[in-house]
Amino acid sequence: MDYDKLAEVYERLEDMPSKLGKRDILAKLFEESPASDLEKIVLLATGQVFPSYSEEELGVAEKMMRRAIEKATGHSETQVVEEFKRTGDFGLTAENFVKSTKQSTLMRRKLTVDKVFGSLKELPEAVGAGSQDRKLNIIAELISSATPKEAKYIVRTALGTLRIGVAEGIVRDAIAKAFGAEASNVEHAWNMMPDYGHIAAIAKTKGDEGLKKIGIKLGVSLQVLLAEKAPDLKTALEAFERSIIEVKYDGARVQIHKNRDKVNLFTCRLEEVTRQFPDIVKLVKENVHADTCILDCEAVGVDRHTGRPVPFQQLSQRVQRKHDIERMMEELPIQVNIFDVLYVNGRSVLDEKLSDRRDEMEKIIKVVPGKFQFTEYVITKDLKIAEKFYKHALEIGEEGVMVKNLDSEYLPGRRVGYWLKVKPTMEPLDLVVIGAEWGTGKRTNWLSSYVLGCRDPATGNFLRCGMMGTGLTDDQFREMTKKLQPLILEEHGRSVTFKPSTVFEIGYQEIQRSTNYDSGFALRFPVLLRDRSADKGPEEADTIDRLRKLYESQKKKS
């Protein structure tokens, strides 16, 4: 298939507000795609070149893209930077420059989906000396051969900023409609094998029966079973006839795949992190006595001096680390807390009761206390015992507890009430918007990713304590941009700072220590509850003292 046909579909998707409309556009595209291109087209339609579980990344930064546009179009660095400032989108920058380039369209090579997909797939393979130049040449060659519209979407795909409003549910329904399959079967396949390209090929050739047969594959991450939040411990305890209460750790959920001597580690977002945690790989090889298995765990960072858990934000540095792994292993040791098993010695145990899965788990795990162990737990229906255990979980610096149904199966990707989390309720904060970034893709020309500040009563300054980009609709982003734009004091690239004026009421999961913000704290998963500017000025915003007090109280440390 010619790539310009896919670019036209991207444009239609970008302009289509309706989810059903997007589904229909994609379904027609998938139905008409030749079998040889189908998997590539489905992945590209989601803005990907590699499936979600793959550790491969294109590795294209904005600086490299700027240089590629310069090389492909003959424009200077200053011209590209100025155009990007104007558009806020390297895709639009490339489109505009390709339109104006004097290169004859007769000199351009017709791009196909196979050519674009194959070229982008080569990017991670460029390693070692001269790798950056090879990547630059690959991108510049694609842009040089592209029409203006093609250039826009090639650039966005390479940067991971396609943003055409195609969520997983839309792709699922489009595959179902294109090939006459049940959406529930497509969803089952996705939960077991998160690769819509492969799923579309199965749906096309084998239909519903083929989708139903997609099962566990070692080395490919499953979607994890999700928990729901309970209003309180009593409600959670009363939800099940047989319950197990486990400590809810402040760590990173890790899915461990062992296939004899090969170990793969995945996060709950399907990202492979095997290279980042060689210490976990070693623990698995030495202490899991099964040829093949899949374990569900929580990895926790441990302070090497005190032995106490550290906040997730510190652990996330290891999750994101690509280099200097050995030093990070020494600075931040890991504790693995195992709570479920999904597959043992060639057999799926997803349909078995949690109590039976735990029996299987205990048969194959050699516990190394403080390093490689089962989650701390208690089995009880007694509320007093449960409350004592909950208090203990908070006292040791963890988030709360999980209450789980011992008679439940494991349903990948589902939130079905089998697991309930109980955590302290955090009070919302009134914080001032002191900065933002100009958006990209769909949010081009909108201010987003708001920088939040708390008030320092000693100086009157506002100290950064988090960034928030969720909780607003498109209309709200548009209106907030109108409101905030006149308050801009400084602008550096896409980043802006504001005159402190706008107060947001912010919800969040918790407050953590942070060296990234001058307040010394960071809000985890902040979300907008409401705009308080109409009834509250910046001088009434919450102070650094209140953040500190809430931080101390949330952990209830002894």
| Residues forming the active site | 248
Q: Which residues of 99-128 are buried (b: 16+ CB within 10 A; e: fewer)?
A: eebeeeeeeeeebbbbbbbebbbebbebee
d(CA 489, CA 494): 13
Q: Name residue 57's amino acid.
A: E
Q: Which two tokens stand for residue 374?
A: 């089962």
Q: Which helix (H) or strand (E) covers residue 374, if one does?
A: strand 372-374
Q: Give the SS3 label for residue 204.
A: helix
- Indicate if the alpha-carbon torsion angle 369, 375, 376, 377 is positive or negative: negative
Q: Is-contact 330 281, C-beta < 8 A?
A: no
Neighbours of 492 (CB within 10 A): 7
Dmax (CA) for the chain in angstroms is 80
d(CA 137, CA 68): 7
d(CA 25, CA 203): 18
CA 152 to chain centre: 24
Q: What is the DSSP letter of 195?
A: -
Nearest alpha carbon to residue 216 among 338, 54, 346, 339: 346
Q: Give the SS3 label for residue 76.
A: coil
Q: Is-contact 550 530, C-beta < 8 A?
A: no
Q: Which two tokens stand for residue 471?
A: 């909780």
- Indicate if the alpha-carbon torsion angle 461, 464, 468, 474 is positive or negative: positive
d(CA 163, CA 353): 40
Q: What is the DSSP letter of 272?
A: B
d(CA 239, CA 472): 34
Q: For strands 429-438 and 495-498, give the pairing.
A: antiparallel
Q: Which two tokens stand for residue 354?
A: 């949690």
d(CA 552, CA 516): 19
**392 phi and psi angles, rounded to 5 deg:** -60, -45
